Amino acid sequence: MEKHKCILAVAPHPDDLDFGCPITLKNFIKQGYDVYYVIITNGENGSKDKKLTKDQRIKIRREEQMQAAAKVGAKKVYFWGYRDGFLEYKEELRKKLTLLIKALKPELVFSFDPANRAFDNINLFHRDHRIAADLCYDSVFAAKNDYIYPHKNGPHRVDRIFFFGTDKPNYFVDITDEIDFKLDVLSSYSSQFPNFENFSKFYKENFDNHTKKYKYSEAFRVMEVVQVSY
């Protein structure tokens, strides 16, 4: 029987994965991987419509994330419902993510890069992004251990982590021919980008210009997860 292929993509907010890696995830889906999203917070503070209540903003942001995930082809989106902008590193979260990794057994995990601490972009290095990155990194480590949050499936070692939002990329995916598809995915977030035509122009001029090799690319620091043998 062919081995099940699985990817877990973890982010603090709706839209983070769609900025960071939608084309790369779509390419893996074409190769036969099932992709699961974990969205840790509600993302309710990203809406530009001040007339909406908090509950309305949460509902809309989830609907937008589901629309974007469907365009990419994700199998399932887990919404964990934490407060946007107030994420804390808690053991309950590390446990929850570790157990999910042990349950799904993903070969690949996608996450913000916890090693990037340049603090040169306030939109990239804010609290939720940093904490989610640390949580994901630590959960990947814990998942390969029998005794840290035991699971009926036993431990699981992820093969590789794809870190986006990195300042030391070692892997680039050419998305030049698919930049319009990526923008279509991002257009799902109409509550955040009400004037999408202006945003689209800004995006093409300022985002995804990671390497001279490609006009547009998605950039990652890819790390092998090594199991020490004795």
The helix/strand/coil state of 171 is strand
The answer as to whether 230 is a domain residue is no
Per-residue pLDDT of 48-107, as tens digits, reads: 788 899 999 999 999 999 999 999 999 999 999 999 999 999 999 999 999 999 999 999
Question: What CATH number has the domain bearing residue 207?
Answer: 3.40.50.10320
* The pLDDT value given to residue 1: 44
The answer as to whether 86 is a domain residue is yes
> Which phi and psi (to 5°) does residue 130 adopt?
-65, -45
The residue segments making up the domain with residue 119 are 6-224
Q: In angstroms, what CA-CA distances link 122 with 128, 129, 158, 180, 210? A: 11, 10, 30, 26, 18
Name the percent of the chain lying above pLDDT 90: 89
Per-residue pLDDT of 157-180, as tens digits, reads: 999 999 999 999 999 999 999 999
* The pLDDT value given to residue 100: 98
C-alpha span between 5 and 37 (Å, rounded): 15
The answer as to whether 1 is a domain residue is no
CB 127 within 8 Å of CB 85: yes
In sequence order, which ranges of 73-210 are alpha helices (DSSP H)? Answer: 91-104, 127-143, 179-186, 196-206
The answer as to whether 11 is a domain residue is yes
The answer as to whether 100 is a domain residue is yes
How many domains, in total, are found in the chain? 1
Q: Structure pTM?
A: 0.95
